[in-house]
Amino acid sequence: MIEIAYDRCDRCGCCVSVCRSNALLLAERLSVDHSRCISCGLCVRVCPFGALRMAESGTPESAAARAGHAEGAEKSYDVLVVGGGPAGAMAAYHAAAGGLRVGIVDRNERVGVPVRCGEAVGVTALAEQTAIDPAWVLAPLRGTTMVSPSGIEVLIDRMAEGYVVRRDIMDAQLVQRAVERGAAYHPRVTIVSASPAAGGHECAGARGERFRATCLVLADGVESRLARQLGWATALAAEDISSCAFAHVSHPRVPVDRMEMHYGSTVAPRGYAWVFPRGQGAANVGVGVLGTHGAPGRALECLHAFVKRRFGGDAQLAGIHCGGVPVGRWSKRLVREGAMLVGDAARQVDPLTGGGITHAMHAGTLAGKAAVQAFQGGTFRPERLRQYERSWAAGPGKALLRTYALKRMVIGLDDATLDRIARRITARRRSSLGLAGICVAAFGRRPLLLLKALMVYW
Ligand SMILES: Cc1cc2nc3c(=O)[nH]c(=O)nc-3n(C[C@H](O)[C@H](O)[C@H](O)COP(=O)(O)OP(=O)(O)OC[C@H]3O[C@@H](n4cnc5c(N)ncnc54)[C@H](O)[C@@H]3O)c2cc1C
């Protein structure tokens, strides 16, 4: 059975995201339903802080004992959005703007807190989804430095401009914008069950709260636990989750307006370490380790080792947290029987970089608009929700599947190969490389791979 060290658990949900038997529940704290647990141990392996372990025996805690009860009146909505992150907030905004009665619930008091994100985002992609408030912007990003296992730096300057943003402010404001359009926000509500009911779905909260909705939007992030209750197979395989630990680092050698991505089997097994500048000598620094190469607490160990290696022993770390990023393919099915899956819950993340903010927002926008279409004419027509699935598949979904194909090509490259590629790139030109240049340098001697890589993007 699984034992939890609560003093180490950061409530990131990595363990929940890989749990096939839905035995883990993250409400005010993490709990295990031992009657469901199959002791596969995957949750233990992917925990970035090493808060879980397999134990011989213990006293099983029943789901009822964990939940507590504070029954209230049932709340009824046209659309209930579970999760107030970027995906849920955008879905709620567009559904409410279209005149629907919308509720959003989130387990936390304040959405986006603690921040579980590197907070890097493309300016154009963000501006396409919403009006950017200058209060969100911490620092501009004008280039990327990729660092090979042995320390060879590859400078990429021809890239779209980016920002490092403050997710705590941005996420709260996105929910606020939905509320201003008429959505009702219910903080500190953890939905523990969702089930089909006559004319829609019924949802229950951990403290006995009850909701009924004609249309359900599941935006509950990487855990995607509720989707499993409705028949989606969203449990992540070890190769599809990046287990991350990250912190704010202050040091004079923090870059000003460039991102850094460091690769190598020691730095970040099958993942990468990032340095994203926040301005004023500070940066978001983190490490992601692929689940297949995970071990209890490995991401945290890698973070400390990386910070020491990159900045020396005098770097100051604050706000150490952990999180999980889905890095596989997005969920094939996004809609079923009056319910839609959006954002990390639908695995709509760039599998190569782990970037998911604007994809989540885009998916939320499409889902919210599809809900409005489905309610048009006074009767709910669930088949119209499929428009969300179609638009996603034809647009960003298509691009992400190509990126996934590229990821499959590069994920297994060993340190020596990565170094060789970096050497080849820097021998050609030291700067102003675009992605095409990188592909040519990386795969130039293997025409078939080069063709495949170029097809991914062009
Ligand atoms: C370490 C790390 C670094 C990252 N860095 C970047 C980056 O630099 N750039 C980028 O673009 N992306 C990054 N991402 C990915 C990005 O954070 C996500 O893709 C994005 O937040 C997805 O938005 P979402 O709304 O789908 O999910 P989330 O933002 O995770 O929101 C889900 C919400 O659902 C709530 N919730 C969950 N379960 C329940 C429940 N049962 N009941 C009620 N509420 C519930 C949670 O409290 C949460 O507020 C990173 C992720 C991690 C973990």
**Taking all residues of the chain, what is their mean pLDDT, rounded to a whole number?**
91
Q: Residues 451, 318: one domain?
A: no
Q: Residues 376, 424: one domain?
A: no
68 pLDDT band, cuts 50/70/90, is very low
Question: How many Cβ atoms from other residues are within 10 Å of residue 105's Cβ?
Answer: 24
Strand partners, 249: 283, 317
Q: Which domain holds residue 441?
A: 404-457
Q: Residues 269, 361: one domain?
A: no
pTM over 0.75: yes
The pLDDT assigned to 432 comes to 53
* Number of domains into which the chain is organized: 4
Q: Residues 175, 199: one domain?
A: yes
Q: Residues 224, 358: one domain?
A: yes
Question: How far is residue 387's CA from residue 75's CA, in Å, rounded to a whole number?
Answer: 27
What's the pLDDT tens digit per position in 307-319?
999 999 899 999 9
Closest of 76, 77, 79 to residue 385, by C-alpha: 79
Helix 386-394 / helix 396-410 crossing angle, nearest 10 deg: 50
Find the mean pLDDT for residues 402-428.
87
Ligand 1 mean position, distance from CA 85 (Å): 6
* Single residue among 67, 85, 104 that ends a domain in this structure: 67
CB 105 within 8 A of CB 201: no
What's the pLDDT tens digit per position in 227-247?
999 999 999 999 999 999 999
Question: How far is residue 233's CA from residue 217's CA, in Å, rounded to a whole number?
Answer: 16
Ligand 1 mean position, distance from CA 428 (Å): 39
Answer yes or no: is pLDDT of 123 > 50: yes
Answer yes or no: is pLDDT of 153 > 80: yes
Q: Residues 144, 8: one domain?
A: no
In a mutational test of the pocket of ligand 1, which residue from 165, 289, 344, 365 has the highest number of ligand atoms less than 8 Å from its CB?
344
What's the pLDDT tens digit per position in 172-200?
999 999 999 999 999 999 999 999 998 89
Count how many Cα atoms sit within 13 Å of the Cα of residue 89 in the half-sphere of its side chain: 26
Please list every protein residue whose CB sits less than 6 Å from any atom of ligand 1: 82-88, 105-108, 111, 116-121, 189-191, 219-221, 223, 244, 246, 286, 323-325, 343-345, 349, 354-357, 360
At 304, which CATH number?
3.30.9.10
Q: Residues 390, 426: one domain?
A: no
**Pairing state of beta strands 282-290 and 30-32?**
unpaired
Ligand 1 mean position, distance from CA 222 (Å): 7
Q: Is residue 122 part of a domain?
A: no
Q: Residues 308, 450: one domain?
A: no
Residue nearest to atom 46 of ligand 1 (CA): 83
Find the mean pLDDT for residues 39-43.
91
